[in-house]
Structure 1
């Protein structure tokens, strides 16, 4: 038996003995941040406007979520926040999840329900939880009062590069769509066996303890607060609002809508005025 396995077993025994198995519930608060690259080519946008846009972009990618969980299920939802600031001309930036989005996971049944509001429409995405092939590491660190262990896995993801500077040629539109260029990414998680639930923020799960920190490309998710067995009993309910679709059906809809939007807002061919290049990591 390896050293890490022995340590995990000891921590799990201690955690289970100290938590009431019948009433075990909790709420974990997570702070998220996503890095981004932005190039502003417009000669009409002065330094003050560029700085204002950068600050607004940063705020868009800084969010707070609550994970309400028990041993078999959870609800992950963004905290209610004030309306996002607008750039001059009334253009509102909306690059993250809607505040009404709800992500429900049932670890026991290995299923999830993702309630999303996108482009003014509500969707109810129902699908199975994809297994994650975690590699447990021996590295440890403390997050708050909790001893955490490191785990990683590797996945293939498409390269993302949003370029609003060019409009596709007509001949290119008639060509068969090319497969997206892929790249390899290593996702790192830190989990604590002291909270013995195989759960975590968003779709991250499958480790022998609650996930408290995630590094996935340019996305960082860190737990800032945990309340175990609060005085008032927590209600973990499945979301029910929206058009019911599978994950693939939703992805196809979003891909189509994104292409339509990029074609609509792309400047005329050969024009470089007002161009903004945005590259957002996964």
Structure 2
């Protein structure tokens, strides 16, 4: 009886993915943690625990989000769930607005086309990326995510230089030049902030959904990626719908100024540096603020 059920399930699965108009939808929860232990107050003072908690609570809508991945056999659209998006965070300004900004990421794993429609300081961009097959190392370790058996894969990834989720505060020794430990493996963003050049990415994928895709920029495995652990960010699939009744048109976004990823990163760096200098020139003049 069990063998007959297994064969029936396999036939149903193969039939599902054999359909010409096959489409699926996956819901992901994304959570990024912040190391608040190294945060200090202005003037070098130690920030109170109450202040740290206040900052963490205010950034919750930015650090915890829900995304929807709509996919077919070769292409996908990945975007934040508009119903759960925080309008309060989007009305912010400066760096907070940049972090809260939404985007739509399109991938075509057959034609190796990746385009992101994003907004930065009120301007819309169409950012094109070079898609090169990721060099995943496949493992034999498995775990269950919902109804799906997933296999582990790892990857050493170059960090995007403007990825704020991987930014960390530089130690006092590094700032004084007293030690050069790990200095060749980090990029100095400012006197206070640095980013590691590379990080390990751990993915869990299921061959039960044989599509070469996953959340965000992640892809390249023999099955849909259901979980990603990358730096301080974890992305976990919480729901999968195969062949939904209401299907979505999966095509590349078209609104915004066309720009390469390199040029876009350069634009963000320049604007971020301007913000930092403006903050140092004017924002720090008020020493009466909270610590």
2-structure distance, mates of 1:162, 1:201: 28
TM-score by length of 1: 0.77
Give the root-mean-square deviation of aligned CA atoms. 3.4
1:61-210 pair list within 5 angstroms: 61-80=63-82, 81-84=85-88, 93-94=96-97, 96-99=99-102, 101-157=103-159, 160-161=167-168, 180=187, 182-210=196-224
Q: Is the 8 A contact 1:138 1:149 kept in 2?
A: yes
1:238 is displaced (CA, Å) by: 1.6
Q: Normalized per residue, which structure has more strand?
A: 1
Q: Is the 8 A contact 1:148 1:193 kept in 2?
A: yes
1-structure distance, mates of 2:31, 2:211: 24
Q: Name the counterpart of 1:36.
A: 34
Structure 1 gaps of 5+ residues are: 1-10, 164-178, 278-282
1:91 is displaced (CA, Å) by: 8.6
2-structure distance, mates of 1:119, 1:184: 28
Moved more, 216-225 or 30-39: 30-39
2-structure distance, mates of 1:274, 1:224: 45
Q: Name the counterpart of 1:247.
A: 261
Cα distance change on mapping 1:268 and 1:92 into 2, 3 Å: closer
Q: Is the 8 A contact 1:30 1:66 kept in 2?
A: yes
1:243 is displaced (CA, Å) by: 0.6
1:19 is displaced (CA, Å) by: 3.1
Q: Partner of 2:129: helix, strand, or coil?
A: strand
Q: Is the 8 A contact 1:72 1:106 kept in 2?
A: yes
Cα distance change on mapping 1:276 and 1:142 into 2, 3 Å: farther
2-structure distance, mates of 1:139, 1:95: 38
2-structure distance, mates of 1:238, 1:276: 46
1:156 is displaced (CA, Å) by: 3.8
Q: Is the 8 A contact 1:40 1:275 kept in 2?
A: no
TM-score by length of 2: 0.75
Q: Partner of 1:194: helix, strand, or coil?
A: coil
Q: Name the counterpart of 1:221.
A: 235
More relative contact order, 1 or 2 (CA 8 Å, 6+ apart): 1
Cα distance change on mapping 1:275 and 1:106 into 2, 3 Å: farther
1-structure distance, mates of 2:233, 2:46: 31
Q: Normalized per residue, which structure has more helix?
A: 2
1:146 is displaced (CA, Å) by: 0.5
2-structure distance, mates of 1:92, 1:244: 23
Q: Partner of 1:54: helix, strand, or coil?
A: helix
2-structure distance, mates of 1:63, 1:254: 22
